[in-house]
Structure 1
C-alpha cells in the first residue's frame, strides 16, 4: 500500500513540474497598434513589421475639407484605405501614386466625421504574405478650383496631381453638360455632390477618347465637384474642361423640330422616351448650309451611336439604332464648321426586319455596325438561327445576341468564320429580338435564316 502511495505522489509531482511550463506558451498573433493622431499638412514616417503589419491613424481637423492622402514605400507594395466610425470603407487605393505606391485624391470629409487611415501592404490587405518595411504617409488639402456655367478652362495633370477638382454651384433642376478633352491622354470625368458621393462618371461619351457627362439634371441646390482626370489614373498632360447649363427640347417619334445655329448656339439637345427593343432613325437636314454631327446617348449617358456624314451631302443620319433600355434618351446635334443656318431634326421609330416574313439580309458598312431583327416566338418551341455569308467572306467580329423581354436567351460569336448556327428554346410567347453586330467597319452581308425545328 505504501509503494502505491509513493508512485502516486511521484506522478503528481511530475505533473506539477510540467504544467507550468505548458502555461508559459505565448501567442505570435500580429497586433494592430492604437491609432496615432494625424492632421492635414502632416507627413509621418513609419514602419510595418511582422508584429504590426498595418498602422492606423486617426484623422483630426479635416471636417468639411477635401484632402489627398499619400502612402509611399520603397520596401513593399502599399495599400491605403480610409474607414468611418462605423467601420465602413469610404475610400481605398492600391497603385495610383506611381510604381507600387498609393494615393487617395479629393476625399471629401464631412463635418463631424471620424475617419481612420489604414496603412498596410497589399499582401496584408488580401490576406496573403504581409510585407514589411519603412513608409511615408502624408495628408494634404486638395487643390480645388472654381468653374462657372459657360466657362471653358485649361488645366494640366502632373505626377503631383493626377486629377484636379473644380467646384461649381448649381440649382435643383439645372441640366448640365460637362466636357473634358485632351490630346495627351484618355480623359475620365466624375461628378460629385456636396458630400463627396459620386453622382456620375464617364469615359468616352465626348467622342474619340474625350469624356462627357450630361445632359444631367442636378438633384438639389448646392455645390458640386467636377473631378477631371484620366482613365488610367496615372496619365499626365494638358486638358480642356467646359461646363454649360443647357435647355433640351422634347421630341417624340414622328416629330420634326427646327433649330437655328448661330455664333452663340453651336449645339442643340433633344430628349425622347424610348423603350427596350425600339429601333430609331434620326436625321438632320440642313439643306447643305451647316455641317453637323449627331450623337445618341442612352439613359446612362453611354453612347449608342454617332454619325457625321451618313445622310445627304454632309448631313448626319443615325440609321436603325437599337435601344436596349427603357428611359430617357438624348440626341446631341453639334455644328462641325462655323456656318450658321437652319437644321431640321427628325426622329422616327422604324420596324425591324422580321424573320416571320422569311430570310433577311443583314448589310453592314462603316457607319452601320448593328442590325436588329425579330421573329414571333412560341413558348417551348425549339428554333435554329443561321447566319451565312452569301459571298463566302469571313468576318472577324460577328456577334449574335438573342433576347426576349430584355433577357438574353442565346448568344454566339464568330472569329474568321463565314457562318453561325445557334439552337435554343423560346421561353415565352411573343417577340424575340436579335441584335447582329459586325465591327470590321467594311461593307459586309449576311443572310439570316430562321428554322422552327420542334
Structure 2
C-alpha cells in the first residue's frame, strides 16, 4: 500500500512517546539503576516478567556514530536510545535480521546516553507484558577497535561495473554524487545470496535490498534512488546469510552503478555465466494417493505419534526436528491448538486423516508462540498435530527445547451471525478473541469487509476443514470473493497480535452479485453501486490469461484473482499504465469459475474503468517443453498433457532458477485422482512416473509454499 510505511512509522512514534511518558517519572531512576557499557563491549543478560526492561548507559562525544545491536533467540528484541534528558533519539525492531534489533546513529551531543533493551511485547504494552529470555547486547562505534578484518573501501563511479570477491566481511564501494542524481545499483552473484546497502557519508542507511523481485532470483538492486544532497555515498556489498546471522557466505560478485532513471527491465552489463543443465536424475515411481479436495496439499510422511485428547496439556521436550500427536475429532468440532516454548520459535501444523496439511501457524499465539484455531473440523476422523520450530521449517536447522502443547474445544463462545449483517464489537483484555460463525449456501459469492483503527488487529476467515483460509489486518480490508461450491460454515476470528486493547472494529459478510464476463470481452463499469466490484469467468487448467484495467486516470484501482477453491492466485495495484493494475501471463491451475475483485485503492474513490480478460491459450507439454514461474506474485503454475488410458508417462521437472529456501511441490492429477506427487527438494531435476487412468487432460501443478520464487521447465521424459 502506498502509505503503509508512513502510517506504521507514525504509529511507532506514538508508541515511543507513550512508553516514555509512562517511564518519564522514573527516567532518573533508570539512569541510576543502569549498567555501564563501554563502546566495543558485548554484554549478556536476561529479561523476565518482573524485569521487562534492561537499561545501560555509555558516554560518547558529539559526532560519534554508534551501532547498538540486541540479539535474542527467546523473544522479539526491541531497542530504544535516549539522551540524558530522556528524549528518544532512535528506536528499532528488526533491523539486525530475524527478530533482532539494531540502531545506527550519529550522536549530536557529548554526554551520557541511555539504552533501553527490551522486547517488542513489553514495548507495545508499556511494560504490562514481557518478553522473557536471554539476550546479547553489543555497542560499537565508527572508531571501535576490533579483531575483525577492516571493511574494504573501493572507489566506484557512474557507469562502472566491478567484479570482486566477498570473503566474509562486507565490502564498501564509495562514490561522489550530487543532490537530485538518480542512481541504480545492481549486485549479482551465482555463488551466494546477495544483499546490498546504500549509506550516506555518516554511515546512516538510506536504502537496502535483498532479492529484487523482477529478477526472480537472489540478486539485489536499489533502483531509481534520488540522492538527497551533495556528498560521498557508499554501496555496501554483503550476503543474506551474514546480514541475518545465519552464516557468512562468500564468492565472486559483480556490482554495477548506473546513473539515470531505470526500469525493472533495463539491462545492466553484468556477465552471467550460462549454467550447464545437470544430467537426468531418475526418481522412484510415485504411488498414487487417495483423492483429496485440493491436489496441491502436501502429504504427511509416516512417523510415530503420541495420542492427545481434548483438554490435555502436554509438557514435552523436542529432541528431534518434529514431534507428532494424534487425536480423534468429530465433524463440526471447533478446536484450538496452542504451542508455547521459551527455548525455540515454535511452529504448528495440522493434518487430516489422510495425512494432508489443512492448517499451519507460526506466531499467532504471541511472543513467538503458535496457535491454530478456532478451527472447525469438516470430517470425523483421526487428526495429526505436528510440533516443530520456525528454524526447521524455514532453514532446515534443528531446534530443540521444552514446550507445552494444549488441545481444547471452543475455548471462546462462537457467535452466530447472518449474511449481510453488520457487526460492531470491541476486543479487550476480558475478550481478547472473538469468533463468529456464518452459514453460506452453494452458489453464494461472499466477501468479508473489515475495518479497525489498529494495525495489530486481524480478521481471519476460515472454512470448515481449512479449504479456505484468508486474513487481513488493520483497516479497511476485504477478504474474498469466495465462490461457495457447497453448503459450508465459515468462522471469522478477530484477535490482536499484541492483545492489549481495547480495539473497536466492524465486519460484515456480504453476498454479492458478480458480473459474469467472458474471455476477450471488455466490460466498462464503476464503483457507484459497491465499494468493490466482482467479476467471474469460466477458465480451464493451463489457460494463460492477461487481466487489464484501463481507467484513463479516472480512478486508482487494484485487483486480485481467486481460484475456484477461493485461494488468491495473483494481485496487483499499479503495474499497468498510470495507476491502473494488470496481471500478465497468469496460468490458471484448474477448471472452474474464477473471480476478480476490483476496488479503489483509496476508499471512496470512484470513476469509470474497463476490465478485460484476454486468453492466450494453454500451456501443453505434448509437443514441447514449457516453463513455469512461481513466486509471491503467482503462487501456483500448471501445465497439461493429453493422456491415454493405461499409458505410462514420465514427466521431467528441471529447476532453472530458485530463490533461497524455495520448496517447490509437484502434484499430477486427472479429474479428482492424484497420479503422482513429490517435492523437488534440493535436486536440480525430478522425474515423476505414473499411469494414466483414463483418456483426457492430465494436469501437472507446481506450488511453493514459501513464495521465494522458482522457475521449472516441464517436459515429457523419453527413455532412450
Q: TM-score, normalised by structure 2?
A: 0.36
**Structure 1 unpaired stretches of 5+:** 1-75, 80-87, 100-104, 106-140, 192-197
**Residue 152 and residue 418 in structure 1: after superposition, are their counterparts in 2 closer, same or farther (change >3 A)?**
same
Give yes or no for contact 2:662–2:709 (8 Å, CA) kept in 1: no
Q: Distance in 2 between matches of 1:366 and 1:301?
A: 17
Match of 1:179 in 2: 449
**Alpha-carbon deviation of 1:158?**
4.0
Match of 1:229 in 2: 493
Q: Distance in 1 between matches of 2:495 and 2:531?
A: 28
Say which of 609, 621, 628 aligns to 1:355: 621
Match of 1:163 in 2: 434
Q: Distance in 2 between matches of 1:363 and 1:374?
A: 15
Give yes or no for contact 1:319–1:368 (8 Å, CA) kept in 2: no
Give yes or no for contact 2:456–2:498 (8 Å, CA) kept in 1: no
1:186-208 Cα distance to aligned partner (Å, 9 max, x none): 423479xxxxxx89996416589
SS state at 1:376 partner:
strand
Match of 2:611 in 1: 345
Say which of 636, 649, 666 aligns to 1:400: 666
**Alpha-carbon deviation of 1:267?**
1.5
Match of 2:306 in 1: none
SS state at 1:368 partner:
coil
Match of 2:649 in 1: 383
Match of 1:257 in 2: 523
Match of 1:433 in 2: 699
Give yes or no for contact 1:162–1:233 (8 Å, CA) kept in 2: no
**Alpha-carbon deviation of 1:255?**
2.0
1:65-105 Cα distance to aligned partner (Å, 9 max, x none): xxxxxxxxxxx9948xxxxxxxx997676779x99xxxxx9
**Residue 233 and residue 367 in structure 1: after superposition, are their counterparts in 2 closer, same or farther (change >3 A)?**
closer
Match of 1:271 in 2: 536
Match of 2:581 in 1: 316
Say which of 460, 465, 471 aligns to 1:188: 460
- Equivalent pairs counted in the alignment come to 323
Q: Distance in 1 between matches of 2:493 and 2:333?
A: 17
Q: Distance in 2 between matches of 1:240 and 1:437?
A: 35
Q: Distance in 1 between matches of 2:707 and 2:515?
A: 32
Q: Distance in 2 between matches of 1:199 and 1:443?
A: 28
Q: Distance in 2 between matches of 1:174 and 1:369?
A: 25
| The structure with more radius of gyration | 1
Q: Distance in 2 between matches of 1:433 and 1:188?
A: 31
SS state at 1:354 partner:
coil
Match of 1:291 in 2: 556
Give yes or no for contact 1:189–1:211 (8 Å, CA) kept in 2: no
Q: Distance in 2 between matches of 1:439 and 1:143?
A: 30
Q: Distance in 2 between matches of 1:363 and 1:165?
A: 38
Of 386-395 and 334-343, the range deviating more from structure 2: 386-395
Give yes or no for contact 2:462–2:468 (8 Å, CA) kept in 1: yes
Q: Distance in 1 between matches of 2:556 and 2:610?
A: 13
Q: Distance in 2 between matches of 1:181 and 1:414?
A: 41
SS state at 2:470 partner:
coil
Match of 1:335 in 2: 600
**Structure showing greater relative contact order (alpha-carbon pairs closer than 8 Å, 6 or more residues apart):** 1
Give yes or no for contact 2:458–2:473 (8 Å, CA) kept in 1: no
**Residue 344 and residue 190 in structure 1: after superposition, are their counterparts in 2 closer, same or farther (change >3 A)?**
same
Q: Distance in 2 between matches of 1:398 and 1:282?
A: 26
Q: Distance in 1 between matches of 2:413 and 2:639?
A: 52
Q: Distance in 2 between matches of 1:355 and 1:201?
A: 30
Match of 2:506 in 1: 241
Q: Distance in 2 between matches of 1:187 and 1:376?
A: 43
1:300-322 Cα distance to aligned partner (Å, 9 max, x none): 54333323234444432334545
Q: Distance in 1 between matches of 2:680 and 2:715?
A: 17
Q: Distance in 1 between matches of 2:415 and 2:517?
A: 38
Match of 2:303 in 1: none
Give yes or no for contact 1:309–1:317 (8 Å, CA) kept in 2: yes
Q: Distance in 1 between matches of 2:634 and 2:717?
A: 26
Q: Distance in 2 between matches of 1:449 and 1:250?
A: 35
1:390-430 Cα distance to aligned partner (Å, 9 max, x none): 57988722222222234221222223433322223333333
**Residue 241 and residue 185 in structure 1: after superposition, are their counterparts in 2 closer, same or farther (change >3 A)?**
same
Give yes or no for contact 2:432–2:496 (8 Å, CA) kept in 1: no
Mapping of residues 9-24 of structure 1, within 5 Å: none
Q: Distance in 2 between matches of 1:296 and 1:366?
A: 13
1:258-281 Cα distance to aligned partner (Å, 9 max, x none): 11245x743111223445555544
Q: TM-score, normalised by structure 1?
A: 0.54
Give yes or no for contact 2:650–2:718 (8 Å, CA) kept in 1: yes
**Alpha-carbon deviation of 1:367?**
2.1
**Alpha-carbon deviation of 1:332?**
0.7
**Alpha-carbon deviation of 1:432?**
2.0
**Residue 349 and residue 161 in structure 1: after superposition, are their counterparts in 2 closer, same or farther (change >3 A)?**
same
Q: Distance in 2 between matches of 1:399 and 1:200?
A: 19
1:15-34 Cα distance to aligned partner (Å, 9 max, x none): xxxxxxxxxxxxxxxxxxxx
Say which of 189, 206, 212 aligns to 2:479: 212
**Alpha-carbon deviation of 1:334?**
1.0
Q: Distance in 2 between matches of 1:392 and 1:78?
A: 43
